[in-house]
């Protein structure tokens, strides 16, 4: 009917307007055809809905990568942050894993991706799977590889995975007696998770005893410090290998170097991470071969034998020393800030990788032949006490990639809301070029009590 009306109007136009009207007529015909197809549900287009669990820069990076690969995806975040609110919907008032499960069921969420380890150790994967929901991450028992260091060390020992020598202590007195007899540098670690802050490197007895008291007497990390591990200190270069696990095969990503200490030259307290670079310049072919033989392959064997297989990510925290690589820890999710450093270099479609994981398909990941450098901007006082609510300026002048972590929007202003505020990433043909671009971007950001390390990538 609309087409007939338009044809009648065309008869009254002169020759000069006829060409324009013919074009308009074609456009209307195409639009009516598309409308007809949609009305009859012939196209049957399904929009993918994805829920991401977490509130940091990692979760913002996951969301940005998914949208970069497919603009039609609908993203949901719990609890999310100011950055995720701009690319998806932050969920409120769903405080338990069961609430999240009901939300996913009600809103027909296709896939849930767990970013933060907290959710994993609450059994979110087990609950989602019980209700028939797809979720990326390990079940509760496999998540103990990250959430329980004693469990992880026992696993490493059983399957001959190279790790530093260690002792386990369940009471303060025995740990204290051990330290008094030991004059070597040690790493003192909480058994449970502590947001990346539960590791203390002590190079003398006084520092070791102070760390022990903070963990087991002052209960600085709560129940996570009820048991501890005292591990031999290894001098070397740290490396991070994030991988994806499809239940049969572990596929490593590019090597990364994480900067964990709050102070430059790796001094001060441990943090969740103050920066990262990709690729790790100390990750050579010989180190890769050593890693594969002494860590990767026995890990896969152990996961299969112990029935700890899952669909998700496995992070290897490593130390390279004397041409050997040692496993310091497992994480059962993507690292932060490694994720923010890796995703800008990933050419492959991230959603396709995840879907291939569920289908046990062979996974190939294509990477840009470039380097990246991520600098974390934090609040002074982090990882201990810090002030929030500081106004952030300069965000509008930033170039991608950058990611929001502990910041929110209030009355159209960006406000700091956590210790690690945001991540700025530089991309280049070398680490040096990537580093320069990252720090050029850092100079554009301002807020009271801003702190960042100046040696990332050096």
Residues sharing a CB contact under 8 Å with residue 130, sequence separation 6 or more, in sequence order = none
Q: How far apart are the C-alpha atoms of 365 and 276, rounded to whole Å?
A: 20
Per the domain annotation, does 217 fall within a domain?
A: yes
Q: Residue 326 domain-assigned? A: no
Q: What is the pLDDT of residues 71-113, one digit of tens each?
A: 999 999 999 999 999 999 999 877 799 999 999 999 999 999 9
Question: Which of 232, 252, 283 is the last residue in one of the domains?
Answer: 232
Q: What's the pLDDT score for residue 193? A: 87
Residues 22 and 98 in one domain: no
> What pLDDT does 37 receive?
53
**Does the pLDDT of residue 197 top 90, yes or no?**
no
Q: At what angle do helices 140-147 and 149-158 cross, to 10 degrees?
A: 100
Q: Are residues 35 and 53 in the same domain?
A: no
Could you tell me if 444 and 406 lie in one domain? yes
Residue 202: inside a domain:
yes
Residue 454 covered by a domain: yes
Q: Are residues 382 and 457 in the same domain?
A: yes
Q: Is residue 436 part of a domain?
A: yes
Dihedral sign computed on CA atoms, order 308, 313, 317, 318: positive
Whether residues 454 and 386 fall in one domain: yes
Range of the domain at 220: 165-232
Per-residue b or e along 249-270, where b marks 16 or more CB atoms closer than 10 Å to that residue's CB: ebbbbbbbbbbbbbeeeeeeeb
The average confidence (pLDDT) of the chain is 91
Residues 6+ apart with CB under 8 A from 219: 225
Domain with residue 200: its CATH number is 3.30.1490.20
So what's the pLDDT on residue 93? 72
**Per-residue pLDDT band at 22 (split at 50, 70, 90):** low
Host H or E run for residue 22: helix 15-39
In sequence order, what are the residues at sequence separation of 6 or more whose Cβ sits closer than 8 angstroms to the Cβ of residue 455?
259, 264, 265
Q: Is residue 9 scored above 60 in pLDDT?
A: no
Q: How many domains does the chain have?
A: 4
pLDDT of residue 36: 55
> How far, in Å, CA of 288 to CA of 308, rounded?
24
d(CA 253, CA 348): 12
277 in any annotated domain: no
Give yes or no for a contact between 74 and 84, defined as CB atoms under 8 angstroms apart: no
* 80/128 same-domain check: yes
pLDDT of residue 7: 43
pLDDT for the residue 195: 80
Residue 316 lies inside a defined structural domain of this protein: no
The string of pLDDT tens digits covering residues 383-407 is: 999 999 999 999 999 999 999 999 9
Residues 121 and 182 occupy one common structural domain: no
How confident is the model over 202-247, as pLDDT tens digits?
999 999 999 999 999 999 899 999 999 999 999 999 999 999 999 9
Domain boundary among 136, 151, 186: 136
At residue 1, the pLDDT reads: 43
- Decide if pLDDT at 32 tops 70: no
Looking at the structure, do residues 53 and 132 belong to the same domain, yes or no?
yes
Please check whether residues 9 and 85 belong to one and the same domain: no
pLDDT, residue 35, reads 56
Asked which of 205, 232, 259 is the last residue of a domain, the reply is 232
pLDDT of residue 11: 43
The answer to whether residue 8 scores a pLDDT higher than 50 is no
């Amino acid at each position: 009917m609309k087409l007939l009306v338009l044809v009648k109007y065309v008869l009254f136009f002169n020759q000069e307007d006829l060409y324009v009207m013919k074009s308009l007529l074609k456009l209307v015909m195409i639009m009516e055809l598309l409308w007809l197809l949609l009305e009859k549900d012939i196209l049957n287009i399904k929009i993918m809905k994805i829920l991401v669990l977490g509130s940091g820069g990692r979760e913002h990076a996951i969301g940005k990568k998914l949208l970069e690969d497919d603009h039609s995806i609908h993203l949901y975040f719990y609890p999310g942050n100011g950055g995720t609110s701009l690319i998806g919907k932050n969920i409120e008032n769903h405080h338990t894993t069961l609430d999240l499960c009901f939300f996913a069921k009600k809103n027909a969420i296709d896939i849930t991706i767990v970013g933060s380890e907290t959710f994993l150790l609450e059994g979110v994967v087990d609950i989602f799977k019980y209700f028939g929901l797809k979720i990326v991450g390990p079940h509760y028992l496999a998540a103990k590889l990250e959430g329980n260091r004693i469990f992880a060390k026992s696993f490493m020992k059983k399957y001959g995975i190279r790790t530093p020598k260690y002792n386990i202590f369940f009471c303060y007195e025995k740990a204290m007696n051990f330290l008094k007899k030991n004059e070597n540098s040690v790493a003192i670690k909480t058994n449970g998770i502590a947001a990346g802050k539960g590791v203390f490197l002590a190079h003398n007895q006084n520092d070791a005893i102070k760390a022990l008291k903070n963990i087991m007497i002052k209960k600085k990390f709560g129940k996570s410090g009820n048991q501890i591990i005292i591990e031999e200190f290894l001098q070397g270069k740290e490396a991070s290998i994030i991988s994806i696990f499809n239940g049969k095969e572990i596929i490593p990503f590019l090597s990364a170097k994480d900067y964990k200490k709050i102070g430059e030259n790796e001094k001060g307290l441990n943090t969740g991470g103050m920066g990262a670079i990709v690729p790790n310049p100390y990750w050579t072919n010989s180190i890769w071969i050593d890693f594969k033989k002494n860590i990767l392959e026995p890990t896969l064997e152990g996961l299969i034998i112990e029935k700890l297989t899952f669909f998700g990510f496995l992070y290897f925290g490593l130390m390279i020393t004397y041409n050997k690589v040692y496993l310091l820890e497992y994480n059962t999710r993507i690292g932060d800030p490694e994720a923010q450093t890796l995703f800008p270099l990933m050419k492959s479609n991230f959603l396709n990788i995840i879907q291939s994981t569920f289908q046990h398909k062979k996974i190939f990941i294509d990477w840009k032949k470039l380097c990246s450098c991520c600098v974390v901007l934090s609040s002074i006082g982090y990882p201990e006490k810090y002030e929030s609510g500081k106004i952030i300026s300069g965000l509008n002048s930033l170039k991608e990639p950058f990611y929001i972590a502990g910041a929110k929007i209030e009355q159209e202003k960006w406000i700091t809301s956590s210790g690690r505020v945001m991540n700025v990433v530089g991309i280049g043909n070398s680490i040096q070029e990537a580093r320069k671009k990252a720090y050029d971007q850092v100079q554009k950001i301002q807020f009271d009590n801003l702190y960042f390390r100046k040696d990332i990538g050096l």
